[in-house]
Protein backbone atom coordinates (compact mmCIF):
# COMPACT_ATOMS: atom_id res chain seq x y z
CA UNK A 1 0.00 0.00 0.00
CA UNK A 2 1.18 3.51 -0.74
CA UNK A 3 2.24 5.70 2.16
CA UNK A 4 1.40 9.38 2.66
CA UNK A 5 4.06 11.76 1.41
CA UNK A 6 2.41 15.02 2.45
CA UNK A 7 0.22 16.09 5.36
CA UNK A 8 -2.13 19.05 4.94
CA UNK A 9 -2.92 20.38 8.40
CA UNK A 10 -5.90 22.72 8.30
CA UNK A 11 -5.23 24.40 11.61
CA UNK A 12 -8.37 26.55 11.63
CA UNK A 13 -11.28 27.53 9.42
CA UNK A 14 -11.15 31.09 10.76
CA UNK A 15 -10.01 33.63 8.18
CA UNK A 16 -10.06 37.43 7.85
CA UNK A 17 -10.86 37.22 4.13
CA UNK A 18 -14.24 36.50 2.51
CA UNK A 19 -13.25 34.97 -0.83
CA UNK A 20 -16.22 33.70 -2.83
CA UNK A 21 -14.35 30.54 -3.87
CA UNK A 22 -13.26 29.56 -0.36
CA UNK A 23 -12.70 25.85 0.27
CA UNK A 24 -13.93 26.16 3.88
CA UNK A 25 -17.16 24.32 4.74
CA UNK A 26 -20.30 26.32 4.02
CA UNK A 27 -21.68 25.36 7.46
CA UNK A 28 -18.92 27.03 9.49
CA UNK A 29 -21.03 27.13 12.66
CA UNK A 30 -20.63 23.34 12.94
CA UNK A 31 -16.82 23.55 12.98
CA UNK A 32 -15.68 25.42 16.07
CA UNK A 33 -13.76 22.94 18.25
CA UNK A 34 -10.18 23.06 16.98
CA UNK A 35 -7.44 20.59 17.91
CA UNK A 36 -5.15 21.90 20.62
CA UNK A 37 -1.38 22.24 20.44
CA UNK A 38 -0.57 18.84 21.96
CA UNK A 39 -3.12 17.13 19.72
CA UNK A 40 -1.60 18.62 16.58
CA UNK A 41 1.92 17.69 17.66
CA UNK A 42 0.78 14.11 18.23
CA UNK A 43 -0.81 14.04 14.76
CA UNK A 44 2.41 15.39 13.21
CA UNK A 45 4.40 12.62 14.89
CA UNK A 46 1.97 9.89 13.81
CA UNK A 47 1.93 11.12 10.21
CA UNK A 48 5.73 11.28 10.15
CA UNK A 49 5.93 7.67 11.31
CA UNK A 50 3.61 6.77 8.43
CA UNK A 51 6.07 8.34 6.00
CA UNK A 52 4.95 11.96 5.60
CA UNK A 53 7.87 14.28 4.87
CA UNK A 54 6.13 17.52 3.90
CA UNK A 55 3.83 19.43 6.23
CA UNK A 56 1.55 22.10 4.78
CA UNK A 57 0.12 24.40 7.45
CA UNK A 58 -3.11 25.81 6.12
CA UNK A 59 -6.62 26.96 6.97
CA UNK A 60 -8.56 29.26 6.95
CA UNK A 61 -5.74 31.48 8.07
CA UNK A 62 -3.10 29.57 10.08
CA UNK A 63 -1.61 32.83 11.40
CA UNK A 64 -4.71 33.14 13.59
CA UNK A 65 -3.37 30.23 15.66
CA UNK A 66 -1.51 31.68 18.62
CA UNK A 67 0.52 28.47 18.89
CA UNK A 68 1.75 28.50 15.26
CA UNK A 69 5.39 29.05 16.21
CA UNK A 70 5.23 26.14 18.66
CA UNK A 71 3.67 23.91 15.99
CA UNK A 72 6.37 24.81 13.47
CA UNK A 73 9.10 24.12 16.02
CA UNK A 74 7.60 20.73 16.82
CA UNK A 75 7.40 19.85 13.13
CA UNK A 76 11.01 20.93 12.63
CA UNK A 77 12.11 18.67 15.49
CA UNK A 78 10.40 15.75 13.73
CA UNK A 79 12.25 16.46 10.49
CA UNK A 80 9.41 17.87 8.34
CA UNK A 81 9.80 20.29 5.47
CA UNK A 82 7.23 22.89 6.57
CA UNK A 83 5.23 25.13 4.26
CA UNK A 84 2.98 27.94 5.51
CA UNK A 85 -0.05 28.51 3.25
CA UNK A 86 -1.36 31.95 4.15
CA UNK A 87 -3.19 35.10 3.10
CA UNK A 88 -0.29 36.84 4.91
CA UNK A 89 -2.73 38.97 6.90
CA UNK A 90 -1.07 39.06 10.31
CA UNK A 91 2.47 38.22 9.18
CA UNK A 92 4.30 40.89 11.16
CA UNK A 93 8.09 41.14 11.19
CA UNK A 94 8.23 39.83 14.75
CA UNK A 95 6.01 36.84 13.89
CA UNK A 96 8.02 36.12 10.76
CA UNK A 97 11.31 36.17 12.65
CA UNK A 98 9.97 33.77 15.27
CA UNK A 99 8.65 31.42 12.59
CA UNK A 100 11.99 31.47 10.79
CA UNK A 101 13.86 30.73 14.01
CA UNK A 102 11.43 27.85 14.70
CA UNK A 103 12.39 26.28 11.37
CA UNK A 104 9.67 27.26 8.87
CA UNK A 105 11.07 26.33 5.45
CA UNK A 106 8.70 27.89 2.90
CA UNK A 107 5.92 30.47 2.60
CA UNK A 108 3.03 30.45 0.12
CA UNK A 109 1.04 33.68 -0.13
CA UNK A 110 -2.26 34.01 -1.97
CA UNK A 111 -3.09 37.09 -4.00
CA UNK A 112 -6.40 37.73 -5.72
CA UNK A 113 -5.27 40.10 -8.48
CA UNK A 114 -2.43 42.40 -9.52
CA UNK A 115 -3.72 45.64 -8.02
CA UNK A 116 -5.57 46.76 -4.92
CA UNK A 117 -9.05 47.64 -6.20
CA UNK A 118 -9.71 44.28 -7.87
CA UNK A 119 -7.86 42.20 -5.29
CA UNK A 120 -9.64 43.80 -2.34
CA UNK A 121 -13.04 43.38 -3.99
CA UNK A 122 -12.46 39.67 -4.54
CA UNK A 123 -10.94 39.15 -1.07
CA UNK A 124 -13.81 41.00 0.58
CA UNK A 125 -11.58 43.28 2.67
CA UNK A 126 -8.72 45.76 2.04
CA UNK A 127 -5.77 43.37 2.02
CA UNK A 128 -3.70 43.76 -1.13
CA UNK A 129 -1.09 46.15 0.24
CA UNK A 130 -0.52 43.99 3.32
CA UNK A 131 0.03 40.97 1.06
CA UNK A 132 2.61 42.85 -0.99
CA UNK A 133 4.44 43.99 2.13
CA UNK A 134 4.40 40.45 3.55
CA UNK A 135 5.77 38.98 0.30
CA UNK A 136 8.65 41.46 0.39
CA UNK A 137 9.32 40.55 4.02
CA UNK A 138 9.43 36.85 3.09
CA UNK A 139 12.08 37.53 0.46
CA UNK A 140 14.01 39.82 2.79
CA UNK A 141 14.20 36.95 5.30
CA UNK A 142 15.48 34.65 2.54
CA UNK A 143 12.55 32.26 2.46
CA UNK A 144 11.47 30.57 -0.77
CA UNK A 145 8.24 32.27 -1.86
CA UNK A 146 5.30 30.77 -3.73
CA UNK A 147 2.65 33.17 -4.99
CA UNK A 148 -0.68 31.40 -5.45
CA UNK A 149 -3.56 32.83 -7.46
CA UNK A 150 -6.99 31.22 -7.76
CA UNK A 151 -8.19 32.08 -11.26
CA UNK A 152 -11.79 32.66 -12.28
CA UNK A 153 -14.00 34.75 -14.52
CA UNK A 154 -13.32 37.97 -12.61
CA UNK A 155 -9.52 37.96 -12.63
CA UNK A 156 -8.29 35.62 -15.38
CA UNK A 157 -8.18 38.45 -17.94
CA UNK A 158 -5.52 40.07 -15.72
CA UNK A 159 -3.23 37.06 -15.84
CA UNK A 160 -0.45 39.02 -17.58
CA UNK A 161 -0.29 41.79 -14.94
CA UNK A 162 -0.70 39.15 -12.20
CA UNK A 163 2.40 37.34 -13.48
CA UNK A 164 4.29 40.64 -13.65
CA UNK A 165 3.33 41.41 -10.05
CA UNK A 166 4.46 37.96 -8.89
CA UNK A 167 7.79 38.44 -10.70
CA UNK A 168 8.20 41.88 -9.12
CA UNK A 169 7.69 40.29 -5.69
CA UNK A 170 10.50 37.83 -6.42
CA UNK A 171 8.37 34.67 -6.40
CA UNK A 172 10.38 31.47 -6.76
CA UNK A 173 7.22 29.59 -7.73
CA UNK A 174 3.94 30.86 -9.19
CA UNK A 175 0.82 28.71 -8.99
CA UNK A 176 -2.10 29.70 -11.20
CA UNK A 177 -4.98 27.41 -10.26
CA UNK A 178 -8.39 27.64 -11.83
CA UNK A 179 -11.24 27.40 -9.34
CA UNK A 180 -12.57 24.01 -8.25
CA UNK A 181 -16.36 24.15 -8.01
CA UNK A 182 -17.50 22.83 -4.67
CA UNK A 183 -18.39 24.52 -1.39
CA UNK A 184 -18.50 28.30 -1.68
CA UNK A 185 -17.21 28.17 -5.26
CA UNK A 186 -20.18 25.95 -6.17
CA UNK A 187 -22.53 28.60 -4.81
CA UNK A 188 -20.74 31.19 -6.96
CA UNK A 189 -20.07 29.05 -10.02
CA UNK A 190 -22.11 31.21 -12.40
CA UNK A 191 -20.02 34.23 -11.47
CA UNK A 192 -16.68 32.40 -11.45
CA UNK A 193 -16.58 30.01 -14.42
CA UNK A 194 -14.52 31.64 -17.21
CA UNK A 195 -15.37 31.62 -20.92
CA UNK A 196 -13.42 29.78 -23.63
CA UNK A 197 -12.12 33.09 -24.96
CA UNK A 198 -10.76 33.98 -21.52
CA UNK A 199 -9.04 30.61 -21.23
CA UNK A 200 -7.48 30.84 -24.69
CA UNK A 201 -6.04 34.24 -23.83
CA UNK A 202 -4.76 33.00 -20.46
CA UNK A 203 -3.09 29.95 -21.98
CA UNK A 204 -1.26 32.09 -24.55
CA UNK A 205 0.00 34.40 -21.81
CA UNK A 206 1.15 31.43 -19.70
CA UNK A 207 3.03 29.85 -22.63
CA UNK A 208 4.95 33.08 -23.22
CA UNK A 209 5.65 33.48 -19.50
CA UNK A 210 7.01 29.94 -19.22
CA UNK A 211 9.59 30.74 -21.89
CA UNK A 212 10.51 33.99 -20.18
CA UNK A 213 10.74 32.53 -16.68
CA UNK A 214 12.46 29.25 -17.57
CA UNK A 215 15.43 28.53 -15.35
CA UNK A 216 14.62 30.84 -12.45
CA UNK A 217 10.87 30.66 -11.62
CA UNK A 218 8.62 27.60 -11.60
CA UNK A 219 5.26 28.35 -13.19
CA UNK A 220 2.36 25.98 -12.55
CA UNK A 221 -0.88 26.47 -14.48
CA UNK A 222 -3.84 24.24 -13.59
CA UNK A 223 -6.59 24.12 -16.20
CA UNK A 224 -10.24 24.28 -15.13
CA UNK A 225 -11.80 20.82 -14.94
CA UNK A 226 -14.95 21.87 -16.76
CA UNK A 227 -13.05 22.45 -19.99
CA UNK A 228 -11.09 19.20 -19.93
CA UNK A 229 -11.76 16.05 -21.94
CA UNK A 230 -10.78 13.85 -19.02
CA UNK A 231 -10.78 14.55 -15.27
CA UNK A 232 -7.66 15.00 -13.17
CA UNK A 233 -6.64 12.23 -10.75
CA UNK A 234 -7.94 13.43 -7.41
CA UNK A 235 -4.92 13.98 -5.14
CA UNK A 236 -3.04 11.43 -7.27
CA UNK A 237 -5.59 8.80 -6.26
CA UNK A 238 -7.88 8.52 -3.22
CA UNK A 239 -5.86 7.72 -0.10
CA UNK A 240 -2.72 7.13 -2.14
CA UNK A 241 -0.12 9.79 -1.29
CA UNK A 242 -1.80 12.61 0.62
CA UNK A 243 -3.93 13.12 3.69
CA UNK A 244 -5.62 16.13 5.22
CA UNK A 245 -6.64 16.81 8.80
CA UNK A 246 -9.45 19.28 9.44
CA UNK A 247 -9.34 21.77 12.34
CA UNK A 248 -11.57 19.46 14.39
CA UNK A 249 -9.46 16.37 13.71
CA UNK A 250 -11.27 14.56 10.90
CA UNK A 251 -8.77 12.76 8.66
CA UNK A 252 -9.58 12.91 4.95
CA UNK A 253 -8.00 11.89 1.65
CA UNK A 254 -8.48 15.47 0.36
CA UNK A 255 -9.50 18.80 1.85
CA UNK A 256 -12.94 18.85 0.16
CA UNK A 257 -14.03 15.38 1.24
CA UNK A 258 -15.77 16.79 4.33
CA UNK A 259 -18.73 17.37 1.98
CA UNK A 260 -19.16 13.68 1.20
CA UNK A 261 -21.64 11.49 3.14
CA UNK A 262 -18.95 9.18 4.52
CA UNK A 263 -18.23 7.83 7.97
CA UNK A 264 -15.84 10.10 9.83
CA UNK A 265 -12.44 9.06 11.15
CA UNK A 266 -11.18 11.46 13.78
CA UNK A 267 -7.66 11.61 15.22
CA UNK A 268 -9.14 12.15 18.69
CA UNK A 269 -10.71 8.70 18.47
CA UNK A 270 -8.30 6.63 16.35
CA UNK A 271 -4.54 6.46 15.70
CA UNK A 272 -3.54 7.80 12.31
CA UNK A 273 -2.01 4.53 11.09
CA UNK A 274 -5.38 2.77 11.54
CA UNK A 275 -7.18 5.63 9.83
CA UNK A 276 -4.82 5.51 6.84
CA UNK A 277 -4.80 1.74 6.40
CA UNK A 278 -8.20 0.52 7.62
CA UNK A 279 -10.79 3.26 8.12
CA UNK A 280 -13.84 3.16 5.82
CA UNK A 281 -13.31 6.76 4.69
CA UNK A 282 -9.84 5.98 3.29
CA UNK A 283 -10.84 2.58 1.91
CA UNK A 284 -14.03 3.76 0.21
CA UNK A 285 -12.55 4.98 -3.09
CA UNK A 286 -9.02 3.64 -2.82
CA UNK A 287 -7.85 1.79 -5.94
CA UNK A 288 -10.33 0.77 -8.65
CA UNK A 289 -12.53 -1.99 -7.20
CA UNK A 290 -15.27 0.50 -6.22
CA UNK A 291 -15.76 1.67 -9.81
CA UNK A 292 -18.74 1.04 -12.03
CA UNK A 293 -18.83 1.57 -15.76
CA UNK A 294 -17.69 3.42 -17.74
CA UNK A 295 -14.71 3.78 -15.37
CA UNK A 296 -14.35 0.06 -14.62
CA UNK A 297 -13.79 -0.83 -18.28
CA UNK A 298 -11.82 2.30 -19.18
CA UNK A 299 -8.11 2.11 -20.02
CA UNK A 300 -7.59 5.31 -17.99
CA UNK A 301 -8.99 3.91 -14.73
CA UNK A 302 -5.53 3.85 -13.11
CA UNK A 303 -4.60 7.21 -14.64
CA UNK A 304 -7.38 9.45 -13.35
CA UNK A 305 -9.04 7.00 -10.87
CA UNK A 306 -12.51 8.07 -11.96
CA UNK A 307 -11.77 11.74 -11.31
CA UNK A 308 -12.87 13.82 -8.34
CA UNK A 309 -15.28 12.16 -5.91
CA UNK A 310 -16.27 15.51 -4.43
CA UNK A 311 -17.04 16.91 -7.87
CA UNK A 312 -19.07 13.83 -8.79
CA UNK A 313 -21.09 14.23 -5.59
CA UNK A 314 -21.51 17.97 -6.04
CA UNK A 315 -22.87 17.58 -9.57
CA UNK A 316 -24.89 14.36 -9.30
CA UNK A 317 -25.52 13.71 -5.59
CA UNK A 318 -23.72 10.36 -5.94
CA UNK A 319 -20.02 10.15 -5.07
CA UNK A 320 -19.66 6.82 -6.90
CA UNK A 321 -20.52 8.28 -10.32
CA UNK A 322 -17.93 8.92 -12.98
CA UNK A 323 -16.72 12.51 -12.64
CA UNK A 324 -19.06 14.42 -15.00
CA UNK A 325 -16.08 16.36 -16.33
CA UNK A 326 -15.12 13.23 -18.29
CA UNK A 327 -16.57 13.26 -21.82
CA UNK A 328 -17.42 9.55 -21.36
CA UNK A 329 -19.54 10.20 -18.27
CA UNK A 330 -23.31 9.70 -18.66
CA UNK A 331 -23.65 12.94 -16.66
CA UNK A 332 -21.34 15.01 -18.87
CA UNK A 333 -24.28 17.15 -20.01
CA UNK A 334 -24.29 18.75 -16.53
CA UNK A 335 -20.85 20.19 -17.18
CA UNK A 336 -21.64 21.09 -20.77
CA UNK A 337 -24.66 23.10 -19.64
CA UNK A 338 -22.52 25.13 -17.23
CA UNK A 339 -19.94 25.75 -19.96
CA UNK A 340 -22.63 26.87 -22.40
CA UNK A 341 -23.97 29.32 -19.84
CA UNK A 342 -20.49 30.74 -19.22
CA UNK A 343 -20.10 31.36 -22.96
CA UNK A 344 -23.42 33.05 -23.63
CA UNK A 345 -22.98 36.15 -25.83
CA UNK A 346 -23.03 39.34 -23.83
CA UNK A 347 -22.48 37.57 -20.51
CA UNK A 348 -20.85 40.10 -18.11
CA UNK A 349 -17.40 39.28 -16.77
CA UNK A 350 -17.79 40.89 -13.33
CA UNK A 351 -20.97 39.52 -11.77
CA UNK A 352 -22.11 39.75 -8.16
CA UNK A 353 -20.45 37.26 -5.79
CA UNK A 354 -21.76 35.76 -2.56
CA UNK A 355 -18.85 36.27 -0.14
CA UNK A 356 -17.75 33.68 2.38
CA UNK A 357 -18.43 35.10 5.84
CA UNK A 358 -18.35 34.04 9.46
CA UNK A 359 -21.83 34.77 10.73
CA UNK A 360 -21.99 37.48 13.45
CA UNK A 361 -21.75 35.98 16.90
CA UNK A 362 -20.41 32.69 15.64
CA UNK A 363 -18.34 31.13 18.44
CA UNK A 364 -14.77 29.94 18.05
CA UNK A 365 -12.57 28.00 20.43
CA UNK A 366 -9.08 29.44 20.00
CA UNK A 367 -6.20 27.38 21.41
Write out the binding residues for [4Fe-4S] cluster.
15, 19, 22
Distance CA 80, CA 71 (A): 11
Strands 242-245 and 251-252: antiparallel
- Name the nearest CA neighbour of 43 among 280, 270, 258: 270
Distance CA 145, CA 175 (A): 11
- Name the nearest CA neighbour of 23 among 311, 330, 340, 315: 311
Distance CA 42, CA 267 (A): 9
DSSP assignments along 100-116, one per residue: HHHT--EEEEE-SSSSH
Distance CA 35, CA 43 (A): 10
Distance CA 165, CA 231 (A): 31
- In the sheet where 251-252 sits, what is the strand order? 218-222, 173-178, 145-151, 106-110, 81-86, 54-58, 6-10, 242-245, 251-252
Please name the residues in contact with 196: beta carbons below 8 A apart, sequence gap of 6 or more: 227, 339, 343
Please state, in angstroms and as integers, the Cα–Cα distance from residue 258 to each residue in 6, 27, 42, 223, 234, following that order: 18, 11, 22, 24, 14
Please state, in angstroms and as integers, the Cα–Cα distance from residue 329 to each residue in 224, 323, 341, following that order: 17, 7, 20
Binding site listing: 15, 19, 22
Distance CA 221, CA 176 (A): 5
Amino acid sequence: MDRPFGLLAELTYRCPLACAYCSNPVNLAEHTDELGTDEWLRVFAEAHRLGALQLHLSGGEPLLRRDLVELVRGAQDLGYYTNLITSAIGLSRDRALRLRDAGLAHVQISIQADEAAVSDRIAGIPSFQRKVEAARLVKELDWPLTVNVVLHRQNIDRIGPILERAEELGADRIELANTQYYGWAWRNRASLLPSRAQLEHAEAVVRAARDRLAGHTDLIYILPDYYGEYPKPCMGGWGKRQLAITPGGDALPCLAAHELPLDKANVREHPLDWIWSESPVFQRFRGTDWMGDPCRSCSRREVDFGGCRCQAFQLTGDATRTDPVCHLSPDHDLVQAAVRAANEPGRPLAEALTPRVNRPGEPHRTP
